[in-house]
Every structure is written in structure tokens, then in C-alpha cells.
Structure 1
Amino acid sequence: MPLIVKDYSWTQTESTVYLHVPLKGAKAEHVDILSTDEYLKVHFPPFLLEVFLLEAVDEARSSAKLGNGVALITLPKRIHRPWDNLVLSINDKQTMKAIRERALQAHMENTAVGRREKAVKKQQEKKYSLETMMKVLEQEERELIQKMKDEEREKATAEMEGWKIRHKVQTAVEEPPLKLTNGDTVKTIHQATRGCSVKPGPTTSSRAGSRKEQVDLPAPRSSGKIQIKFTPRAFPTALRESRVPEEEEWLRKQAEARRAGNTELAVELKDLNNEERNPDWLKEKGDKYFATGNYHCAVNAYNLAIRLNRKIPAFYSNRAACHLKLRNLHKAVEDTSHALDLLTPPVADNASARARAHVRRGTAFCELELYTEGLQDYLAALKIDPQNEVLQADTNRIRQIIQGCRP
């Protein structure tokens, strides 16, 4: 059962209510705040504060600030007037249950709307980025093709001009003077035939044929091969569809975790042999103990593996499974939360591990009767694996429990 927070304080003005809640050493990322116009809940395991407000507040303008071990919650009033008390005086469990259900329903609707808006915005940004990138690539490709065309055109023009020059020089050097019928001597055919008609004889035809055979044609273009190199990929997704920075950060974290080795080894672990200093070997031992139902020994094996290397999320997730079997529910919540902190950024390579951690933490919350928190974890797991029928059935069962119609 959660511990109820009673040492909070509140102040008010004509238009606003200020609520001060001590966090009792809890980190800001572990504090869950749910606020509607008539209900407020602050949950930081294992503590819980639940307030049924005296009058309605403006949910859209409500805010919360976390710092210095205190949560300051600002609730603008719908009607500007002083309150005699912060909490609505009710003892009817059915009324309290109805208020909780309305708050949960409103929170789920707001979350769904926000998720849809975020997904639409993200899709639009992705589409715009893709269109921009494709335009840039198309422009670069067009410029490259045009440049290649211009170079080929200039090369062909230069070869043709060189061939013309060589042909003129060779013709001028090799062509002898021609004799006309009246005995005049000329240097070229063009000069001899200017203004008159010339009937070439056999000698002229043979010389023309020899010149035609000696014409130099341009050499054929040389052939070649274009080498294409592909960027190596550690993940199976296409490069333009992947999340490269997040994937590289995940790989870097995994490499650092494996390099960590025995750097955090305590003084009392020096007597262990080489096999017992291997975290992977200890994890296999813990898995075997868990499979045979020896959960205490499995916890000891995972404890030692974590002392050797604190950056492997599987150690915490597996130890949480043992704590669930031993009914150490708060420890299970703590271990799964630590595993989810290490399973960042969320990529395809760690999707199954994240889903298992969410299910285990959701199960621990439900065993603690914190069904709202458990439902959130099951929804997160269902988002990762939407086709899992077992997850769908468990999620629907938790919803029924929250709504008061236990199957």
C-alpha cells in the first residue's frame, strides 16, 4: 500500500491556489503528477498525495515546478474568490471513486490528443525534411549530369577542331598542283575551278581516292567502370529512415558497458576467480537459478553481476523478475526503472527489452494496487508490441479494474 503524504501545505490568493508538497528525497523524473479541474494526485513511490479540490480550477493553466526537494503546484481558480478549505469534505467512497474515474478518463483523453498532435507534427516535420533532402539531392544530381554533359561536349568539340586542323594541314602538304586543259598551273582545286568547269581525268580521281583513304578519324572514346561504395550499417533499417544519432549513442553505451569490466569491483571481490568475475557468466547462473525456482540464489547472482558492471540493463530487469516472485514489489519497481533509464535511446535493438521492463514494472504497480501507473506501463509496452494479444488482454483487464468492474 502507498504511504499517504500529509505534511503538505497550501496558500491562496483571490485567483490562485499554491500547493507545496515535500518530495522526501525522490528524484524529479520519478514524480508523477495528475491534475484535472476537480482532482489532484502526486505520486512518487512509495508516497502518494490525493486531493479532491473544494472548487473547480483551470486545468489548462495549471502548472508544477520541481526543485530543492519540493513540488510547487499552481492551480488557477475558475471562480475568483477565497476558499474556506483546500479539500472537499466527502466521505462517500462511491463519490471519490467517480471523481477518480473522471480524472483518469480526462487524463487519458488529453494524453491521446497530445500523442496524436505530436505524431502529426512529427510526421509533417519528417515529410518536410525528406522533401527538402530529396530536392537538394535532385538538384545536385542535375548539376552533376549537366557538368558531365558540358565536359563531354567540350571534349568532343576540341577533338573535332583538332581533326579539322590536322586534315587541312595534311591536304595542303600532300596535294600537288593540277594541270588544266589549257596548260595553266594552279595550286588547289578550288582555285582551278573558280568560274569554270573542270573534268577530272583518271589521275585526279586516283589522287582523290588516296586522300580519302589517308583521312585521320578521331579515336573512339575510352571505356571505364564506376565504383559504388555503400555505407556500412549496424542496424537493418534504411539510412534515411533510421535514427542515426540515437542508434550511435545506444551502440556507444553498450560498448562502454562492456569495456567497464571490473573497474567498479569492490575490495572484498578480490578473492573471486576469473570465471566468477565475468558478469555474463553470473547472468547465466542467475538465469539458471530463476528457471529452477531458486529466486534467492538468482538475486545473489544478479547482485554480484551488478557490482561488477552497473551499466547492463538486463541485470536489473532480470533481478526485478526475481523480486516479483519474492513479492519485493518496491524493489521490483526500482530495478525496472533503473533498467529503463539504461535502455536509452529507444531503438529497434532494445525494443523487446524495453517491453519486458515495462510489463514487469506495470505488474509490480498493479500488485501494489497502483493500477493507474500499471496501466501506463502496459500501454507503453503495447505501443512497442501492438500485435501482442496477451498484452492487449492484460491491458483491458487493468482498465476494468480501474473502472470498478473486475471480471
Structure 2
Amino acid sequence: MPLLVSDYSWTQTESTVYINVPLKGAKAASVDILSTDEYIKVHFPPYLFEAFLFEPVDDDKGSARVGNGVAIISLTKRSNGVWEHLMIQTNDKERKKKIRQAALVKHQKKLSSESEQKAERQRAERKYALETMMKLEKEEKESIQRMKDVERQKTSTELAEWQLRQRQETREELRDDPKPQRTGTTPSDGGRPKAGQRCDRKTEKKPAELPPPRLRGDIQVSFTPRVFPTALRESRVPEEEEWLRKQAAARRAMSADAEELRDLKEDERNPDWLKDRADKCFMAGDYHGAINAYSLAIRLNRRIPALYSNRAACHLKLHNLHKAIEDASQALELLTPAVTANAAARVRASIRRGSAFCQLQLYAEGLQDYQAALKINPHNEALQADAQRIRDIIQGSAASRDTQ
């Protein structure tokens, strides 16, 4: 059975009641406080404080603070006045049991309501992020369409001007080149010129002859086999082919249920479109919006490593270090087998996980990730400097322990 706390104290004003409960050395994290309008419970094993209040209070306006070895509970009275006692003066265990059970039921409903409100806020935030991305996409499309309209109008105007110039030039040529006239002829002689007369007819221009059409033929096309960047004796053809198969399978994978897809628009069902939107949010500093878009893309396709790696970068910006480690680890797991095609992605994921480890002061684990990145890109001076800085921290910590 728990040990009941009896050395509590309380004070009051016309509108407020203050209760001080000593915690007897218990840590603040281990203190559980339950407060309703008729019942107060402070539980820190093996101790328990219960108060069946003298009169009901306004639970929504109450507050509780834990610190300096004491829990201070502030309660707002529903009606102003001075209480004769803090608790009801009765030994009726059945009545107290009913009050306790009613308080627990009310507390559970309150927690459930808060959970639903939190879930609703998250859905609203996710919806707002998607609407914002859709708005940006619409504005971008409208801007591109306006540019196309301007170019189309400009081209139409230039074409109309060119056609007008062509017609004017044609009319000028016709004025300069009148129809040929016959001289010195009569109808009886068939229009032939008489002897001694010459023909004064201008030579007409013949249209330029078009070249004959090209002869029909077939073009033979041959394909060379895929060339890998490494020498044949050092190449990893099976691993390269396995990586290509995994990439192709990842692009075809779809993880979300049909019911979830029904609520999404056509663009929102495309992980690549969501990744592009998330990248733009990240560049704009909207890390929460980027995480929402990356998370939705992951729900649609859980086999694209870039989604996890980029979400890890967002968590790093928000100092969600454990989540950053989890996402970077998932990205590295998907980036297998290790081939040249995914080397840059493995470097990024290793650095992000190593940075999160170092910010958690887990320098040995962080150094391992930086060394893994250096093994892939050994000539990166920034990586070399960061790895040496981590070694100096580790050696400094070891030296300080030896001195102590």
C-alpha cells in the first residue's frame, strides 16, 4: 500500500486555494498529478497525497508546479468565500470511492479530448502545408503560362508583320513588272510579227525549281553495353545491377492504402512532386512544412532513401536529434549495396547522422560516421577538418579524465 502524505500545508484567499505537498526527495519527472473539480491526487511512489475537496473548484483555471522538493497546486474557487476545511469531513469510504472513480473517468476524458485536439491540430497543420505548396505550385504555373502567352502574342505579332511585308513586296514587284504587250501584229496574220519588226515582249520570270525529295532509307542503330566507371578487374557489376533493380522497384512501389489516396489530389500522390515541394520549403526555411511533405511522400513510398535523408536534415535544423539519427540510419540502410552511383548520397546521410551524434555528445559514434564518409570521399578537406575536430574533443575528454 502507498504511504499517505500527512505533512502537507494549505492556504487560501477569497478566490484561490494553495496546496503545498512535500516530495520527500522524489524527482520531478516521477511525480504524477491528477486534478479535477472535486479531487486532487499527487503520486510519487511510494507516497500518495489525496484531497477530496471541501467545495468544487474550476479545474480549467487551476495549475500545478513542481520544483525545489515541493509540489504547489493552485485552485480557483467556483464561488468566492472562505473554506472551513480543505477536505470534506467524512469517513464514508464508499463516497470517497465514487468521487475518486468519477475523477479518474473525467481525467481520462480530458486526456482523450486533448489527444484528439492535438491530432486535429496536426491534421490542420499538414493540410495548411499542403495547401501552401499547392498555392505556390499554382502561382508558378500561372507565371509560366503568362510568360507563354506573352511569347505567343509576340510571335503572332511578328508573323503578322512579316506577312504584311511580304504582301507589300509582292505588290511592288507586280507594279514594276507589267503584263507583256504585242506590237506590229494583226488578227489576220495569227499575231506573228511582220517582217522587219522585232518582238518587244519582256521575258517572264520562271519560279525557282524545288529540289527533288530525298530518297527513303533505313538507319541502322546499335547500342553499346553500359560502361561502369571502374576498371573491369575492380568493377562491381552485380552490385551495380542490384542497385539499379532496387531503384527501379522503389519507383514502382506504392505503400499508402487506397483509402488514403482517395483524399489526395493527383499531384499529391506523386512522391517526386512532394519531394520537390519539400525541397523548396527547406530552402525557404519552412522546416516543419518540409517535414510534413517528406512524411507524406514516405507514406506513399517507403523505399526512396533521399526522402529519409532529407527529412533527417530538417530534423537537424529543428534539433530533433534522435529523429535525425533514425531517418539517416533508414536512408543508409536503403542505400545498399554500396556502389559509385549512390556514393554521394551515402556521404550526405553519414554526415547528417554523425552531426546528430556529436550534438548529443556521442562523439565516438559521430566520429565513426565521419570516417565512413571520408572513406568514400577521402580528399574532402572540410570532412577531414571536422573529423580531426571530433578526435581532438575525444582526446581532450580522455585527458581530462586521466588528470582527475
TM-score by length of 2: 0.45
TM-score by length of 1: 0.45
